[in-house]
Chain A
Amino acid sequence: MVAEEFDASPLAWLKRVLETRDEEISCAECQILVSQYVDLELETEEAATRLPQLVHHLDQCPACWETYQLLRELARLETQAGLPDIEELLERLKGGKA
C-alpha cells in the first residue's frame, strides 16, 4: 500500500536508502501505471499486490507520489460528487493572497 503521506524526515530517507533495489522502475514507467493503480485502488484492496514495483517507486519518489496523491483525490471526488465546478475552484484559488 502506498503511504498516505510522503515522510521526508531524515529517518524515513535512511529507510529508503536501505530499501533501495538494484532495479527500480523509472518515473516514465511509473507514469504509465499510476492511473491504472489509482482506479484499481478504488475497486480492490489488492492493488498494491498487483503492482508492487509501482508501489516501491511511489515510496521512493516524492514527485511521482505527489502526482499519485492528486490523482487519487480527483478520482475519489469524481466517484462521489464529481469534480468541484470551475466557479468554486476559481473562488478557492483567490483564497491565498498574492
Chain B
Amino acid sequence: MPPVRSNQEWIRALSGTGKQQDEAISELRQFLLQVALYTLYRYLIDIRALGHSERLALAEDCAQEALISVLDHLDEFKGESKFTTWAYKFAVNVSLARARREGWKQISLEELSDSSESFDWFTSKSASTHTDVELQAVQAEVTAVLDEAILHDLTHKQRLVFRLIVFEQVPMDAIVQRLGTNRNAVYKLLHDARKKLKRALQAHGFETEEVLRLFEK
C-alpha cells in the first residue's frame, strides 16, 4: 500500500513531471476507480440492465473522466479539505450522473410530467390520516392555491422541472441530460418555481409559520 500523502505532497507530485508525477496519477486513478465502483454499487438499481463487463467499463470510464477533471481543476484546490475528499467528489459526480441517466434513459420525461396533474401535498411517510374537518379544509385551500400557481404562475420549463422532481421523483441528473443543460440551470428552475409558489401562498394569506403548523397536526 502506498504511503498516505499530505495535501501538499499530492499537489506537488501531480503538478510535477516524470516518474513522481506518473506514480501519483496512477495512485489517484486507482482511488477514483474505487470511488466510481463504490458509487455505481450504491446505485446498482439504475445500472441493473447492464452486464458485468459493461458495469466495469462504465466504472473505468467514470474514473478516467474524473481523473481528467481533477487534473484540469488542480489549481482550484485551496486546501480547505483533504485532497482526496476533494478529488473523490469528481468521481462521485460523474458516476452518479452516468448511473442516473442509465436508469432513466427509457422513460419519456415529457409524458411523465404531463401525466402528473393532481398531487396530494399533505401525505408523508410518517403522517397519520386525520379526520379534523377544519384542518382538511385549510389543507384543501393550500392545495388549490398551489395547483393554481403551478398551472398559471410557473413557466413551462419551471413547471416541467418542478413536476418531474417533486411529483415524479426523477433524479436531477436525468433531467439535466434530457434538457441538455447543467445542474445549476435545473436547480435555478426549481428554485424560481419554489419562490413563486411560496409567494402565491403568502398572497393568499398563508404565512410560512401557519402552514408549517399544519405539519404538526
Contact = CB atoms under 8 A, between A and B. Distances in A.
Interface string A75-96: 1001000011110011011111
A63 B172 contact: yes
Contacts of B129: none
Interface in B86-122: 86, 88-89, 92-93, 96, 119-122
A26 B187 contact: yes
A44 B201 CA distance: 38
Interface stretch (B9-17, B19-27, B37-45, B130-138): B37-45
Contacts of B122: 10-11, 14
Contact of B194 (A20, A28, A93): A20
A64 B96 CA distance: 10
B123 A9 contact: yes
Interface residues of B, number: 68
B92 A9 contact: no
Contacts of B33: 86
Main secondary structure of the interface of A (DSSP, over half): helix
Contacts of A3: none
A33 B76 CA distance: 12
Contacts of B187: 26-27, 61, 63-64
B94 to A, nearest CB: 11
Given A10-B119, A74-B35, A93 B44 contact: yes
Contacts of A78: 84
Nearest to A38: B85
Interface of B: 30-31, 33-35, 37-42, 44-45, 47-52, 54-56, 59, 76, 80-82, 84-86, 88-89, 92-93, 96, 119-125, 127, 142, 146, 165-166, 169, 171-173, 182-184, 186-188, 190-191, 194-195, 197-198, 201, 208, 211-212, 215
8 contacts: A10-B119, A11-B121, A15-B215, A31-B93, A61-B190, A66-B96, A90-B56, A93-B52
